[in-house]
Chains A and B, each alone.
Chain A
């Protein structure tokens, strides 16, 4: 029975170390929580009073008290919607090709490695590419479409990687069963693999779109305006702006009242982000609960 005693001979420090490690990990968690709490406290304390319907529906103004975020809010939603419409089909299609069609070869390895590397490229680099390609060469100007195409570049690698991950998580036995029943490759992908990997794909898509929602750098690089008076009506020609740019612009102003407006805009941005993440959790739960391998 002596081996079960807490004070084992030879390693008297083991129980203490175990406790210390738990305490250290807890401290790390508390540190993160405290930082987040401080940030939220500051922002809410600063911007909460500024947040009202007039602020949400207001147009920009040189008077801080009259400024609103309707134009950048709508701009951001257009931007994200269009980015999703571009990046999801292209990204999932590329992932399906790489996972289900591409033969194992050196080329595939090279492409795969490059996609993983692209996911780590700073977003400003994509902004510069977007400026040269979409804004100037194709001549889309500083429109929502140009912004969405640029944002698609930012999120595509992440969408591809997460979709590949989700497809890879579908057991090979499902593919075999489908082929053995006389299904073609296309039918196997469409009826079995995509539905089974949908929760994983959706999670990756929504998380990458959340990132795109908060990105300012690529938009700055393609020269998106910070003060736009009207909600864009033509997505190909009209100028637009987005929430992160508006926040950036306001925090740069000397007038303290604009900082309050920036804090209020941050609350709106965070609300949209939390909403998107909640959607991701919901979709994962809704589609995922039936699928347990």
Chain B
């Protein structure tokens, strides 16, 4: 129980309110090394606590009745979800539940897959990103993405970060230098790499590579940052650094994160949405969803009874 106590308080309450699931819950928790430094836990207290509070926040992204099809197969069924600005929204659910698919709808990365189709509307501010003649390139500059497996380009650290501005037409060296430095500082990588910006990004460690990918995503000056299980391939220490980073970044950006790790969702997010078999089962303030889930499926999932 000593280990559980070090994670966020709401989670503990969640396990208490689910009498049958307690054993599984503490098992899940103890399998995850406690990594959050104390300072972060106090900040977590500032999270919105009620659905009413969440609903009052201005929405950066609003999905309405979103259906998604891979050919004949429908992967998403009528998703309605608002993403509050400057907050972290976590998407959780078992594998294949559609949470990554939904994430990839938000910057139209699914367009790259042949035979896919989207119905419904997704508003970024007040513009429907799926209306005809949307500039997808412009959209992806405003909605950055970080992938599950760090995927730096086989180029120098500098070139990795400068790539986004470069393809957007920035040519001036001073401007690029400034962007690269700013983004590396923001992603808490600058001190580690400032003396070797011209070495290959592939020589960095896994955790550093992932932070480089975050810096690269920040370099296009996005409003929204999509993260598809950004820490799932990292060791606990690197995971903690990425989570700290998410805490820092949410002051500037709106973040949507897909995660398999429920402690992570509880630690970093303000709002959590639970997906199951292509349906959005429940969404609400993270504290509420983990302590007082409204749906039985949600409760079973977060207490570790399936998934």
**Hey, which bits of chain A sit against chain B, CB under 8 A?**
103-104, 171, 173-184, 187, 191-192, 195-196, 290-293
B145 within 8 A of A: yes
Query: Which A-chain residue is minimally distant from B140 (CB atoms)?
Result: A182
Which of these, A180, A184, A192, A195, contacts B217 with CB under 8 Å?
Answer: A180
Q: Which of B163, B166, B217, B220 has the most CB of A within 10 A?
A: B163
A290 touches B154 (CB 8 A): yes
A104 touches B114 (CB 8 A): yes
B220 touches A181 (CB 8 A): yes
Contact A180/B140 with A103-B114, A173-B147, A191-B167 known, Cβ cut-off 8 Å: yes
Across-interface contacts of A292 in B (CB, < 8 A) = 154, 202
- Chain B interfacial residues counted at CB < 8 A: 29
Which of these, A104, A171, A187, contacts B151 with CB under 8 Å?
Answer: A171
Contact A183/B167 with A174-B151, A196-B154 known, Cβ cut-off 8 Å: yes
A182 touches B141 (CB 8 A): yes
Query: Which B-chain residue is minimally distant from A292 (CB atoms)?
Result: B202
A180 touches B114 (CB 8 A): no
Contact A179/B114 with A173-B147, A184-B167, A292-B202 known, Cβ cut-off 8 Å: no
Smallest beta-carbon distance B301→chain A, Å: 28
Smallest beta-carbon distance A209→chain B, Å: 26
Q: Which of A103, A174, A183, A191 has the most CB of B within 10 A?
A: A183
**Hey, which bits of chain B sit against chain A, CB under 8 A?**
107, 109, 112, 114, 137-138, 140-141, 144-145, 147, 149, 151-155, 163-164, 166-168, 200, 202, 213, 216-217, 219-220
Main secondary structure of the interface of A (DSSP, over half): helix
B109 touches A176 (CB 8 A): yes
B213 touches A181 (CB 8 A): no
Cα of A112 to Cα of B270 in the assembled complex, Å: 51
A177 touches B147 (CB 8 A): yes
Which of these, B138, B200, B217, contacts A181 with CB under 8 Å?
Answer: B217
B112 touches A182 (CB 8 A): no
Across-interface contacts of A171 in B (CB, < 8 A) = 151
Given A195-B154, A290-B154, 19 more pairs with CB closer than 8 A: A171-B151, A173-B147, A173-B151, A174-B153, A177-B151, A178-B167, A180-B109, A180-B140, A180-B144, A180-B145, A181-B217, A182-B138, A182-B164, A182-B168, A191-B166, A191-B167, A195-B155, A290-B200, A291-B202
